Structure 1
Amino acid sequence: MELIEGMLSRRTTNGAFKPDPVAREHQHLLMRVAQAAPSHFNSQPWRFVLIEDRATIEQIARISGESMTELIDAGIFFERYRRYFRFTPQEMDERRDGIHIDHLPGPLKPFTRQVFSDAGIKLMRQLGVPRKLGEDNRKLVAGSPLLLAALLDRTEYRPGELSGFYSVFGLGAAVENIWNAVGALGMGIQFVSTPMELPRQWQAIRDLLRVPDDLELMAVYRLGYLPEGEKRPSIDWSSRHRKRLEQFVSRETCDVPEREGTETEEPERA
């Protein structure tokens, strides 16, 4: 039950970490829980790079911040992910998915629902919001004591083939093991996603990490120990709602939704 409770309380960290280095013992423990994940034919296609060098972290932070600024300023981010945004607790409770935008800079609060429209993006540019968000993002990454790059072996990762699916599935399981384990260590984790949105920026990180041709860089995460109180970024959200059973589970066939709280019926015996 302790393990299950830990999984159900899993969280993503949007705020800053403590500056304390992550103990080598904890780093290796996270690698061992990743290693315990299932993979096709025990192929273990994942590879990881643990990054503590301050110069490298600063470079990745700069790339991440610049990417955020460009994505927000051009409206690319909001156009691409608009369908996931929720603006009221009622909307979030009804849909049970996406993210609730519940924290905005003061000047934007009166325009909460319009903030991601063309007019809202124009206003954000005038207020310097893209640059501010980019700087916030840079600081979050730069202040992380540990970055983790996740890669796949290209002899296994062949997109369009079953081995490609199996490899991504295995890496997903490995990263999920890490995500579930950090809480037990007093740590948090967050996806450093913005450079992936811009191919040239993703290539810059690939070059920085000297990724060889036989590996594919799949993701970068930031990790660290959690402070007592988190300061929220300029634009932030909550995403703790989860869909009800009938919204994502069926029984026997796809057209019979599973209902919450139904008792298991014993089959009739002859």
Structure 2
Amino acid sequence: MELIDGLLARRTTNGPFRPDPVSREHQHLLMRVAQAAPSHFNSQPWRFVLIENPATIARVADLSGQSMTELIDAGVFFERYRRYFRFSEAEMDERRDGIHIDRLPGPLKPFTRQVFSDAGLKLMRQLGVPKKLGEDNRKLVAGSPLLLAALLDRSEYRPGELSGFYSVFGLGAAIENIWNAVGELGMGIQFVSTPMEIPRHWEELGRLLQVPDDLELMAVYRLGYLPDEPHRPAIDWSSRHRKRLPQFVYRESCAQPEEE
């Protein structure tokens, strides 16, 4: 039951970490946990880069902040992801998915529901919100004592073939093992997603990590030890709501939703 309780208590850390370095023991433990994940024919297609060099972390942070600023300023971010934002407890309770926007930078609070409209985007630009969110993003990454890059072996990862699916499935299982293990170590983890949204930034990140041609950079995460009193960011992208059983589980066929 301790394992089950741990799985149900899983969290994503959207705030800052403590500055303490992550011990080598804990880093290797997380790698062994990842290694224990299932993979097709035990292919173990995953590769990882553990990043502690402050200069490298600072550059990844710069790319993350720049990416966030560009995405918000161009309206791409909200256009791409507005379907996941909920603006009331009632809407959140009905849908049980997405993100409940109950926290915004002060100048935007009166315009919560209009924040994703053209008028809202214009207002955000005038108030400097894209730069503010970009700087917040940069600081979060820059203040992380450990980054983790996840890669796949291209000899296994062949998009368009079943091997491509099997490889992504295996990497997902490995990352989930890490995600579920960090809490036991007093740590947190968060996906550093924004550089992936802008190809030139993602390509620079690959060059920064000296990714060879036989590997594919798939994702980057930030990790660290959790502070005693977590701090919520200006926009908190997390949500603990989960769909009810009838909303995602069926009995015998897709024609019969499961009952609670």
Q: TM-score range by the shorter chain?
A: over 0.9
The count of aligned residue pairs is: 260
- Indicate if the aligned counterparts of 2:251 and 2:258 stay in contact, CA closer than 8 A: yes
CA deviation string 1:13-61 (max 9, x = no partner): 0000000000100000000000000000000000000000000000000
1:194 alignment counterpart: 194
Cα distance in 2 for partners of 1:236, 1:150 equals 25
Deviation of the 1:231 alpha carbon: 2.0
Q: Distance in 2 between matches of 1:176 and 1:145?
A: 20
The aligned counterpart of 1:268 is none
Q: 1:238, CA displacement in angstroms?
A: 3.5
Q: 1:102 touches 1:238 (CA, 8 Å); kept in 2?
A: no
Correspondence for 2:142 = 142
Alignment of 1:219 with 2:247, yes or no, is: no
Equivalent position SS for 1:138: helix
SS at 1:113's partner residue? helix
Larger Rg: 1
User: Counterpart of 1:174?
Assistant: 174
Confirm whether residue 60 of structure 1 aligns to residue 53 of structure 2: no
Aligned twin of 1:76 = 76
Asked if the contact 1:249–1:257 (Cα under 8 Å) also holds between the matched residues in 2, the reply is yes
What is the distance in 1 between the residues matched to 2:107 and 2:142? 27
Whole-Å separation in 1 of the counterparts to 2:237 and 2:187: 20
| Residue 234 (structure 1) shift | 1.7
> Do the aligned partners of 1:144 and 1:222 also contact (CA within 8 Å) in 2?
yes
Q: Distance in 1 between matches of 2:4 and 2:232?
A: 28
Counterparts of 1:223-262 in structure 2, within 5 Å, are: 223-260=223-260
Within 5 A, what are the aligned runs for 1:35-114? 35-114=35-114
**How many Å separate the matches in 2 of 1:77 and 1:16?**
22
What's the offset of the Cα at 1:107? Answer: 1.3
Corresponding residue for residue 206 of structure 2: 206
Where 1:97 maps in the other structure, the secondary structure is coil
Name the Cα RMSD after superposition.
0.6
For the 8 Å contact 2:34–2:178, the answer to whether it is kept is yes
Alignment pair present for 1:7 and 2:12? no
Question: Helix, strand or coil for the counterpart of 1:258?
Answer: coil
1:17–1:224 contact (8 Å) kept in structure 2: yes
Say whether the 8 Å CA contact 1:84–1:97 is kept in structure 2.
Answer: yes
Q: What do the CA deviations read for 1:148-167 (whole angstroms, capped 9, x no partner)?
A: 00000000000000000000
Unaligned runs of 5+ in 2: none
What's the TM-score once normalised by structure 1's chain length?
Answer: 0.95
- Shift in Å at residue 187 of structure 1? 0.3
Paired position in structure 1 for 2:29? 29
Return structure 1 stretches of 4+ with deviation > 6 angstroms. none
Cα distance between partner residues in 1 of 2:220 and 2:42: 24
Aligned to 1:189, what secondary structure does the other structure show? strand
Amino acid aligned to 1:246 = P
**Once structures 1 and 2 are overlaid, which stretch shifts more, 227-236 or 149-158?**
227-236
* TM-score, length basis structure 2: 0.99
The question of whether the paired residues in 1 share the 8 Å contact of 2:12 and 2:238 is answered with no
Which secondary structure state, in structure 2, belongs to the residue aligned with residue 221 of structure 1? strand
